[in-house]
Amino acid sequence: MRILVTGGAGFIGSVTAALLLEQDHEVEVLDDLSTGHREAVPGPARLHVGSLHDGGLLDRVFARPFDAVVHFAAFSQVGESVRDPLRYWRNNVGGTIALLARVARGGAGRFVFSSSAAVYGEPPLVPIGEDAPLCPVNPYGRTKLAMEQAIADAAAAAGFAAVALRYFNAAGAWDGRGEDHDPETHLIPRLLRSLLVPGETFAVYGDDYPTPDGTCVRDYIHVRDLAEAHALALAWADGPGVTALNLGTGDGHSVHDIVRAAGRVTGRVVAPPVQPRRPGDPARLVAANRRARDLLGWRPRRSDVDTLLADAWAWHSAHPRGYAG
Ligand SMILES: NC(=O)c1ccc[n+]([C@@H]2O[C@H](COP(=O)([O-])OP(=O)(O)OC[C@H]3O[C@@H](n4cnc5c(N)ncnc54)[C@H](O)[C@@H]3O)[C@@H](O)[C@H]2O)c1
C-alpha cells in the first residue's frame, strides 16, 4: 500500500513507519517536528516537514492519493492540555478535521487513528472494555474523543474504513527509535533517565491508592507491539465506518513493580522517594484486549515488563539526552 503516516517523526509513529517499510509498503511521513525528531524518521520514507494546518502542503501531499493514512500527529501531554486547552483543541481536533477533509475527498480508503485510554477517564470497572462509558477527565482526553467522533462521522459519510486504536501506556524502544519528549511525563523514560542523567529526578506519586501495593497500576504496551497492531489494522480495515480497539496487554503493573523491574534490568539500586498523589491519576487502568485479539489476530509479544524495560534501557543508555544528545 501507499501510506501516509502523520506524526511519523514521533515515538510511536516512527516505529510504525519503519515496520510498514519492512513490510514493503511505500511510506510518506508528514510531521512538523514540534515534538518529533527528524533522526527518528526511517530513511526510505519521504518526509514532508510541515503542519496539518498548512492547507497548501496538504494539497501537495494528497496530489497523488494514498491507499491509507495512519494518523499519529497530535499533542499528548495531559498537564499541558489542562493549562492550555485551546492549543490542544486547535492542534488535535483542528488538524484531524483538515486531514479528514482530504481523506473524504478520495485521498485514502483506510484510516487508522491513534486514540487513547484517556477517552475512558476514570472507569468504574477494570479491565476496561471498548463499550465502557467514554468520560474523559481532561482536555487531552476530550480532544481524543472528539477526534474519534469526527472520524466516525466522516467515515460513514464518505465511505472510508477507519480504526481507532486506544493505546494504554506505550513504552519500550525498537531498532534505534525510543521515547524522547520534552518535558518527559511518562513513568519509564523518567525513571530510566534519572539513573543516567545527573540532576534528573524521579518520584513515586502516592502509595495510598486502593491497589495491592498502594501505587497506581497501569497497562504497559511495547511500541513494537503497537506498530504491529497498526499494520494488522491497515490490512483488516474494510467497509465504511469506524471500529474502536483497545491496545493493552490486559495485565496491570504498579509503579513499585516497574521500579523493581528497573532494578533487575539495569543492575542499579533504584529507590525513589514517595511524594503525595497528583490530582487526576486514576488508581487502575488496564485494558480488556479481546476485541483486538479476535478481530486483528493481534498478540502482544514484547510487552512483558522485563523485555520492555530492557529495550527502553538500551535506547536510553545510548541516548541519555535523547536524539539531540
Ligand atoms: N505515548 C503514549 O503512551 C500514548 C498513549 C495513548 C495515545 N497516544 C497517542 O499516540 C500518538 C503518538 O504518540 P507519541 O508518544 O508517539 O507522541 P510524539 O509527540 O512522539 O509524536 C507526535 C508527532 O506528531 C507531530 N505533530 C504534532 N502536531 C502536528 C501537526 N499539527 N502537524 C504535523 N505533525 C504534528 C509531532 O512533531 C510528533 O512527531 C499521539 O496522537 C498520542 O496522543 C500516545
Upstream peptide bond of 273 is cis (omega within 30 degrees of 0): no
Catalytic, 323? Answer no
Choice from 4, 5, 6, 11 to test ligand 1 binding pocket (greatest atom count within 8 A of CB) = 11
Q: Specify if 160 maps to a domain.
A: yes
- Total tally of structural domains belonging to the chain: 2
Nine cell digits for residue 144: 481524543
Residues 59, 107 share a domain: yes
CA distances from 146 to 68, 90, 105, 240 (A): 21, 12, 21, 19
Q: Specify if 308 maps to a domain.
A: yes
Q: What is the pLDDT of residue 296?
A: 98
Residues 179, 307 share a domain: yes
pTM: 0.98
Of the chain, the end-to-end C-alpha distance in Å amounts to 35
Residues 162, 121 share a domain: yes
Residues 278, 233 share a domain: no
Classify 244 in phi/psi space as left (phi over 0), alpha (psi -120 to 50) or beta: beta
Q: From the CB of 33, is ligand 1 less than 6 Å away?
A: yes
Q: From the CB of 191, is ligand 1 less than 6 Å away?
A: no
Q: From the CB of 13, is ligand 1 less than 6 Å away?
A: yes
CA–CA distance, 80 with 63 (Å, rounded to integer): 35
Q: From the CB of 11, is ligand 1 less than 6 Å away?
A: yes
Residues 6 or more apart from 303 whose CB is under 8 A from it?
172, 220, 221, 222, 225, 249
Q: Specify if 293 maps to a domain.
A: no
- Count of Cβ atoms closer than 10 Å to residue 40 Cβ: 23
Per the structure, the complete domain to which residue 201 belongs is given by: 172-218+251-284+301-318
Q: Which residue from 53, 151, 112 is spatially nearest to 230, judged by alpha carbons?
A: 112
> What sign has the CA pseudo-torsion 8, 12, 14, 16?
negative
Q: What is the pLDDT of residue 260?
A: 97
**Atom of ligand 1 minimally distant from the CA of 115:** 7
Q: What is the pLDDT of residue 248?
A: 98
Instruction: Tell me which amino acid residue 83 is.
Output: R
Q: What is the pLDDT of residue 114?
A: 98
Choice from 49, 52, 70, 72 to test ligand 1 binding pocket (greatest atom count within 8 A of CB) = 72
Q: Which residue from 72, 77, 94, 51 is spatially nearest to 140, judged by alpha carbons?
A: 77
CATH at residue 133: 3.40.50.720
Residues 193, 109 share a domain: no
Residues 186, 64 share a domain: no
Residues 232, 214 share a domain: no
Per-residue pLDDT of the chain (325 residues; tens, 9 = 90+): 999 999 999 999 999 999 999 999 999 999 999 999 999 999 999 999 999 999 999 999 999 999 999 999 999 999 999 999 999 999 999 999 999 999 999 999 999 999 999 999 999 899 999 999 999 999 999 999 999 999 999 999 999 999 999 999 999 999 999 999 999 999 999 999 999 999 999 999 999 999 999 999 999 999 999 999 999 999 999 989 999 999 999 999 999 999 999 999 999 999 999 999 988 889 999 999 999 999 999 999 999 999 999 999 999 999 999 998 7
**Atom of ligand 1 minimally distant from the CA of 167:** 6
Residues 129, 205 share a domain: no
Query: Are the C-beta atoms of 277 and 210 separated by less than 8 Å?
Result: no
For the chain, helix (H) and strand (E) counts, in that order, are: 11, 14
CA–centroid distance, residue 276 to ligand 1 (Å): 29
Instruction: Tell me which amino acid residue 236 is.
Output: W
Residues 75, 184 share a domain: no
CA–centroid distance, residue 199 to ligand 1 (Å): 27
